[in-house]
Amino acid sequence: MRSSLHSSMQLFLSVNLSRKLLSPWSSDLIKLVALSAMLLAQVNTYAQTPVASTSALQTATARGTHADAFLSVDGVVEAVRNTVISAQISGSIVQLPVKAGDTVKAGQLLVRMDARTAQQEFNASKAQVDAAKANLAVAEKDYDRQKLLFEKNYISQAQLDRALAQFKSASAQANAQIAQAGAVQTQSGFYTINAPYDGIVSDMPSAIGEMVMPGKPIMTVYDPKDLRVIVTVPQARIAGLKVGQNVMIEFPSLPSAQRFVKPHAMTILPLSDAATHTVQVRFDLPNDVQAVNPGLFARVNLAFNVGTDADVAGKNPTATRVYVPATAVFRRAELYAVYVINAQAKPMLRQVKLGPKIANEQEILSGVAAGEKVAIDPLAAAQASKISAQK
């Protein structure tokens, strides 16, 4: 094993030294030879049972598809419920118990404004209600007395009608005062603002002591359990978009364990933007998605119907995209490579150029043609290649 490692290192050093003597067009070949030497050296470090033949290798056929069958679009995360909290009346902020980034519960106090003037107005309105009720009671008793006197023919009909009118007037005034007091009480409730639902405070442009006006934003709250990704698709291609396709949304800035998320619904808005000639497509994210916040960059690879597709290996290379299993691609230093099974059923190392990754498949921009077979396990392919070379 040590001798094999030593010989591989010598090969790598000799290749590097020869780079100064070769022309620039040979640099990729040098990198590929060095890559092969490094991989063979790694294979020797594994204490595994040698593969008897290349027939034991697991392979997959490079899948070719029409270039228009997929479209990678960029999008952004937004909250379905995103509420800008503002006041309905003017006042000074006296209490602000939350700050940006805090988690709030439905009904929790968010803002309290100075309500002393409103409280005095409510007290005055309540006193007017009491006075109106007292006047109503007097008018009612007076009407009852006038009614008894009229029944005994002590007063005229005009006097009774006058007493009835006074009673109705007092009753109307009492009802008006009660309604006005209710309006004042309702308005006094505007001086405190509570959370409309469970959420997170995302923005806080206000501070204690600041004067707020009706409609002026105080803070912003969003629901982290109700998020979606918004993308735009050219309206010329929206008719060919596959409905119900298995989409994986990629968040390039997140760790690999959280980078891909499967949405649970896709919605195509029935409206085109007259300025950009695009149609908005929404993807609803699961409620338990982690580390995803509004404003996060997202990338979506969409599938389209393009008629009879691909199995177009070699028919029109410019209109073909090639995909292989992601596990078939490995990286060493600056190079990416796969093991391609040649006509003699032997694995051959080949450098490739990568495109975007879609779910568990990797797009190959160059290096592999549609229809070629690649080894799914590069390490096993490297071991089989070494054994074949020793025969």
Mean pLDDT along residues 311-328: 66
Sheet of strand 109-113, all strands in order from the earlier edge strand to the far edge: 192-194, 109-113, 91-95, 211-212
Structure token digits, residue 142: 């007076």
**301 pLDDT more than 60:** yes
Mean pLDDT along residues 121-138: 86
Answer whether 101's CB lies under 8 Å from 200's CB: yes
Per-residue exposure over 17-34, b if at least 16 CB sit within 10 Å of its own CB, e if not: eeeeeeeeeeeeeebbbb
**270 pLDDT more than 60:** yes
pLDDT of residue 130: 87
Answer whether 53's CB lies under 8 Å from 275's CB: no
Structure token digits, residue 369: 């043609």
Higher pLDDT, 377 or 27: 377
Per-residue pLDDT band for 111 (boundaries 50, 70, 90) equals: very high
Structure token digits, residue 207: 């501070």
For the ranges 19-28, 55-64, 79-88, 245-254, the lowest mean pLDDT is seen at 19-28
Cβ-based neighbour number of residue 187 at 10 Å: 15
pLDDT per residue as tens digits for the range 161-188: 888 898 899 889 888 888 888 887 777 7
Tell me the whole-structure pTM to 2 decimals: 0.60
291/104 Cα distance (integer angstroms): 18
Max mean pLDDT among 15-24, 62-71, 172-181, 314-323 falls in: 172-181
pLDDT of residue 26: 47
pLDDT of residue 246: 83
pLDDT of residue 391: 61
**34 pLDDT more than 60:** no
290/77 Cα distance (integer angstroms): 13
The span from the first CA to the last CA of the chain, in angstroms, equals 18
Per-residue pLDDT band for 35 (boundaries 50, 70, 90) equals: low
User: Which of 55, 42, 59, 53 is closest to 379 using CA atoms?
Assistant: 42
pLDDT of residue 49: 42
pLDDT of residue 53: 54
182/96 Cα distance (integer angstroms): 27
In the chain, pLDDT over 70 holds for what percent of residues?
81
pLDDT of residue 217: 93
Answer whether 244's CB lies under 8 Å from 222's CB: no
Answer whether 371's CB lies under 8 Å from 61's CB: yes
Mean pLDDT along residues 264-282: 93
| Average pLDDT in the chain | 81
**87 pLDDT more than 60:** yes
**Greatest alpha-carbon span in the chain:** 137
pLDDT per residue as tens digits for the range 197-252: 999 999 999 999 999 999 899 999 999 999 999 999 999 889 888 887 888 899 99
Per-residue pLDDT band for 68 (boundaries 50, 70, 90) equals: low
Sheet of strand 227-234, all strands in order from the earlier edge strand to the far edge: 260-261, 249-250, 297-303, 70-79, 227-234, 278-284, 265-272
Write out the H or E segment, with its range, that includes residue 20: none
Structure token digits, residue 172: 């109307």
Answer whether 162's CB lies under 8 Å from 169's CB: no
Cβ-based neighbour number of residue 257 at 10 Å: 8
**17 pLDDT more than 70:** no
Name beta bridge partners: 272.
279
In the chain, pLDDT over 90 holds for what percent of residues?
36
pLDDT of residue 43: 45
